[in-house]
């Protein structure tokens, strides 16, 4: 998942000081308020204290306001340079602190950091509103928008992007309506933060405690060791504690022979942030949806879904739903086959019950092993995390000529972070890359990419980015290194695909660099990268037994290949179901509270969701859509982008997965371009035709 830290609605506060604004130095000891002297301007985390954030944020907001005032009061007629470029290059002082607050609010959200975010987010929201509703600024933007003669394609797109962003953020509203929108945005900022904090707190609060070793039958030793370590840290030495973090949760659901243990874990996850206690997100969901409806209608849209999709590739809710339903019906048909196979296996092995949702992972793993003689127990020893990362770096080098050199003494926000100097084939620095892979109580669930410093190349002054990947993968223990499941391997490749788009960008402007692209295009490079993870040619490079160093044998590779379409009914149904649930939530116009569980059930019934499967995320912890508005009405984008990535990777399969010419075309037309051109134009420039769903359905074994 990609995390866009500062969006255009915040007026791209990712930028250079413009129009002669001076760096404020009232509190020069504050590291945010002085130029970074670290190599590649990596934030000097070891010098940053909690007390530095809010003062620096206030200074940054004041500096940003001064820059905007300078643009508005410029006596010269509005031009691209003195208005659009100046706006694109405003807010660097603010961004230095805001970008770290956003990053740490999810990757290292200590109690102190949480308190900072609660104060900071409303301030940032107010700053964004003050700028996006500035009548004088919008008047200048509109003047450039109305006369774009002489501008190149990238410049025209940047003008359009700013104009539409301002309109979508209330520039055309009257003064009273603007005040209403400001109030809505402030409330949404608080509610979305509250939603995320409830998910994090309830995740950390919930524990599955086992005091009888017999209940651990079937679990891998690494999962048992991690549970013992978790128990020890919780003061329960001699017991085993499992949590809702993905490595712990999925280990129980996939391997625990004890059906009751699986059910307890499943129910714990399904009821996350929805148990009627202080962490329950039901009211937050209702309040968020009510305010989003009000916002959309204030801005002239029938629903929040219409508002969100108006500004992306899909354009309409109907277009997004049409794509999803092309995939939905084949997926649920496949689920029926999968459940029948699992039921047959369970019956043959003494199971006197119907397959339930908490049985799906477990019996899917059993059937997979029976059909293909392969499962995660067999594969994990070949997927040591460090080897997988080396394979990812090898792939990037073969395709794009880039290299990664660890920077052991570089500043980092947490000791678990690793920092790399990324250089091109000529040895020129192109990016800093950080990885942060293991769960901890201060980190939210999931995996994502974002940036701590953006890229640009304005007037010949090139600035290169700082990119980071965060995940929650299987932790190493004293006895065992981090050995990954195939899903975790693909997660690493996925997030690295986002990182590549951030690191390799050659876009000129901040508002177009890296992953600043349409929401339903941003997952294309990440999902494209997943294909390499299980290609035989690359597996033989990085998949080595952690004890013996033996390269993964051809027989096992063949089993992986044959099993690639296994369980795709379940995987696809979970994903498409969540995307449709997201759209259903945001198509509704809210005027009174809705029972969250009842609404979900009604959607499941209308979709004919198989009873053995739940939505990928239940609404109370569906952080993609309620923790921010980034993926609200946009969870479908994973499927939209997969149409592109499956079709695009077919070209590599035809020509060779490391084919130089294909890699060059993909690099130049997709990874380097950012938002410099319409994304469908970029795709067709790379691939030579418009994509269809055929490749996706074939890849998932649904056709």
Other Cβ atoms within 10 Å of 589 Cβ, number: 14
Beta bridge partner(s), residue 453: 466
Whether 468 and 330 share a structural domain: no
Residue-wise pLDDT tens digits, 276-321: 999 999 999 999 999 999 999 999 999 999 999 998 888 899 999 9
> pTM (2 decimals)?
0.83
Whether 402 and 531 share a structural domain: yes
Dig out the tokens for 436 from the structure.
């942060």
Closest CA to 519 of 298, 307, 272: 307
Please, which pLDDT band fits residue 644 given cuts at 50, 70 and 90? Answer: very high
Question: What CATH number is associated with residue 447?
Answer: 1.10.1370.40
Helix (H) or strand (E) holding 421: strand 418-423
Give a yes or no: residue 587 inside a domain. yes
Beta bridge partner(s), residue 457: 462
**pLDDT for the residue numbered 28:** 55
Please, which pLDDT band fits residue 447 given cuts at 50, 70 and 90? Answer: very high
Residue 2 scores a pLDDT above 60: no
488: burial class by Cβ within 10 Å (0-12, 13-18, 19+)? Answer: buried
Whether 532 and 681 share a structural domain: yes
Residue 556 scores a pLDDT above 70: yes
Give a yes or no: residue 37 inside a domain. no
CB of 626 closer than 8 Å to CB of 278: no
Q: Cβ contacts of residue 101 below 8 Å, gap of 6+?
A: 53, 57, 113, 116, 117, 120
Beta bridge partner(s), residue 418: 435
Give a yes or no: residue 182 inside a domain. no
Residue 213 scores a pLDDT above 50: yes
147: burial class by Cβ within 10 Å (0-12, 13-18, 19+)? Answer: middle
Beta bridge partner(s), residue 209: 241
Dig out the tokens for 240 from the structure.
């085993």
Dig out the tokens for 239 from the structure.
């017991």
Residue-wise pLDDT tens digits, 562-572: 898 899 999 99
Which of 635, 651, 674 is the last residue in one of the domains? 635
Whether 538 and 652 share a structural domain: yes
Beta bridge partner(s), residue 2: 449
**pLDDT for the residue numbered 20:** 28
Whether 241 and 256 share a structural domain: yes
Which of 242, 270, 298 is the last residue in one of the domains? 270
Give the number of domains in the chain. 3
DSSP state of 476: P
At residue 429, what are phi and psi to the nearest 5 degrees? Answer: -65, 130
**pLDDT for the residue numbered 8:** 31
Q: Cβ contacts of residue 598 below 8 Å, gap of 6+?
A: none
Give a yes or no: residue 620 inside a domain. yes
Dig out the tokens for 311 from the structure.
């500004």
Q: In whole angstroms, what separates CA 232 from the centre of its chain?
A: 32
Whether 622 and 661 share a structural domain: no
Give a yes or no: residue 368 inside a domain. yes
At residue 404, what are phi and psi to the nearest 5 degrees? Answer: -125, 120
Whether 410 and 515 share a structural domain: yes
Which of 270, 295, 315 is the last residue in one of the domains? 270
Question: What CATH number is associated with residue 295?
Answer: 1.10.1370.10
474: burial class by Cβ within 10 Å (0-12, 13-18, 19+)? Answer: buried
CB of 691 closer than 8 Å to CB of 640: no
Whether 515 and 649 share a structural domain: yes
Give a yes or no: residue 517 inside a domain. yes
Whether 407 and 259 share a structural domain: no
Give a yes or no: residue 491 inside a domain. yes
How far CA 108 is from CA of 139, 414, 439, 464, in Å, comes to 41, 8, 10, 25
Whether 643 and 629 share a structural domain: no
Please, which pLDDT band fits residue 445 given cuts at 50, 70 and 90? Answer: confident
Residue 334 scores a pLDDT above 80: yes
Residue-wise pLDDT tens digits, 13-67: 332 222 222 233 344 589 999 999 999 999 999 999 999 999 999 999 999 999 9
Give a yes or no: residue 89 inside a domain. no
The residue from 321, 495, 535, 612 that is catalytic is 495
**pLDDT for the residue numbered 77:** 97
Mean pLDDT for the chain overall:
92
Whether 465 and 413 share a structural domain: yes
Mean pLDDT of 616-624: 94
**pLDDT for the residue numbered 7:** 34
Q: What CA–CA distance (Å, rounded) separates 412 from 433?
A: 11
Question: How much of the chain, in percent, has pLDDT values that exceed 90?
Answer: 86
Whether 624 and 645 share a structural domain: no
**What residues make up the domain containing 525?**
381-551+638-699
**pLDDT for the residue numbered 4:** 38
Q: What CA–CA distance (Å, rounded) separates 65 from 17?
A: 11
Please, which pLDDT band fits residue 694 given cuts at 50, 70 and 90? Answer: confident
**pLDDT for the residue numbered 14:** 30
CB of 127 closer than 8 Å to CB of 169: no
**pLDDT for the residue numbered 19:** 28
Q: Cβ contacts of residue 606 below 8 Å, gap of 6+?
A: none
CB of 252 closer than 8 Å to CB of 209: no
Q: What CA–CA distance (Å, rounded) separates 357 from 353?
A: 12
Catalytic annotation on 463? no
């Amino acid at each position: 998942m990609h995390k866009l830290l500062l969006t255009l609605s915040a007026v791209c506060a990712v930028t250079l000081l413009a129009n002669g604004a001076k760096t404020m130095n009232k509190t020069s000891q504050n590291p945010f308020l002085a130029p970074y002297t670290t190599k590649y301007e990596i934030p000097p985390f070891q010098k940053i204290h909690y007390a530095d954030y809010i003062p620096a944020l206030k200074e940054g907001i004041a500096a940003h306001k001064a820059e905007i005032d300078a643009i508005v009061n410029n006596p010269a007629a509005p031009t691209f340079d003195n208005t659009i470029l100046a706006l694109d290059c405003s807010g660097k002082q603010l961004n230095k602190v805001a970008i770290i607050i956003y990053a740490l609010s999810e990757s290292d959200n200590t109690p102190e950091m949480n308190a900072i975010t609660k104060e900071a987010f409303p301030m940032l929201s107010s700053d964004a509103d003050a700028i996006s509703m500035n009548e004088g600024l919008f008047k200048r933007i509109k003047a450039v928008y109305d006369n774009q003669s002489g501008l190149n394609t990238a410049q025209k797109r940047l003008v359009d992007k700013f104009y539409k962003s301002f309109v979508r953020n209330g520039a055309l509203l009257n003064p009273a309506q603007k005040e209403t929108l400001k109030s809505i945005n402030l409330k949404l900022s608080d509610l979305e933060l509250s939603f995320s904090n409830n998910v994090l707190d309830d995740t950390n609060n919930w524990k599955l405690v086992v005091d009888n070793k017999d209940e651990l039958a079937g679990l891998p030793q690494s999962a048992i060791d991690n549970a013992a370590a978790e128990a020890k840290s919780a003061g329960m030495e001699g017991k085993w504690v499992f949590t809702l973090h993905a490595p712990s949760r999925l280990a129980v659901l996939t391997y625990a022979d004890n059906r009751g243990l699986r059910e307890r874990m499943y129910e714990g996850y399904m009821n996350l942030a929805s148990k009627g206690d202080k962490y329950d997100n039901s009211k937050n969901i209702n309040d968020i949806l009510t305010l989003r409806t009000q916002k959309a209608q204030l801005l002239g849209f029938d629903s929040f879904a219409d508002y969100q999709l108006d500004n992306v590739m899909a354009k309409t809710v109907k277009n997004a739903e049409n794509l999803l339903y092309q995939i939905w019906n084949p997926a649920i048909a496949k689920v029926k086959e999968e459940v029948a196979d699992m039921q047959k296996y369970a019956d043959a092995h003494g199971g006197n019950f119907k397959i339930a949702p908490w049985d799906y992972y477990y019996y899917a793993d059993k059937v997979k092993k029976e059909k293909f003689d392969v499962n995660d127990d067999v594969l994990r020893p070949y997927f040591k995390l460090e080897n997988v990362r080396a394979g990812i770096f090898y792939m990037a080098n073969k395709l794009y000529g880039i290299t990664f050199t660890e920077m052991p003494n570089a500043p980092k926000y947490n000791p678990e972070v690793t920092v790399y100097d990324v250089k091109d084939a000529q040895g020129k620095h192109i990016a800093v890359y950080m990885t942060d892979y293991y769960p901890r109580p201060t980190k939210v669930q999931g995996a994502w990419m974002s940036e701590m410093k953006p890229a640009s190349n304005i007037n010949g002054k090139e600035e290169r980015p700082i990119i980071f990947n965060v995940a929650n993968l299987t932790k190493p223990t004293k006895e065992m290194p981090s050995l990954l499941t195939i899903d975790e391997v693909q997660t690493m490749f996925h997030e690295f695909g986002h990182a590549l788009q951030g690191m390799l960008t050659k876009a000129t402007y901040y508002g177009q660099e890296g992953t600043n692209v349409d929401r339903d295009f941003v997952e294309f490079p990440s999902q494209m990268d997943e294909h390499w993870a299980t290609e035989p040619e690359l597996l033989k490079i990085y998949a080595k037994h952690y004890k013996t160093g033996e390269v993964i044998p051809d027989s096992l590779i063949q089993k992986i290949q044959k099993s690639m379409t296994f369980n795709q009914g379940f995987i696809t149904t979970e994903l498409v179901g969540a995307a449709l649930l997201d759209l259903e939530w945001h198509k509704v116009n809210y005027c009174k509270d809705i029972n969250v569980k009842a609404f979900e059930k009604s959607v499941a019934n209308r979709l004919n969701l198989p009873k053995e499967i739940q939505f990928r995320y239940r609404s109370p912890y569906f952080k993609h859509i309620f923790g921010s508005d980034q993926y609200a009405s946009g969870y479908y984008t994973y499927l939209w982008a997969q149409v592109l990535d499956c079709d695009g990777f077919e070209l590599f399969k035809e020509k060779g997965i490391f084919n130089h010419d294909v890699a060059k075309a993909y690099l130049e037309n997709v990874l380097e371009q950012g938002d410099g051109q319409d994304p469908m134009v970029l795709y067709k420039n790379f691939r030579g035709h418009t994509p269809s769903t055929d490749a996706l359905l074939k890849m998932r074994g649904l056709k």
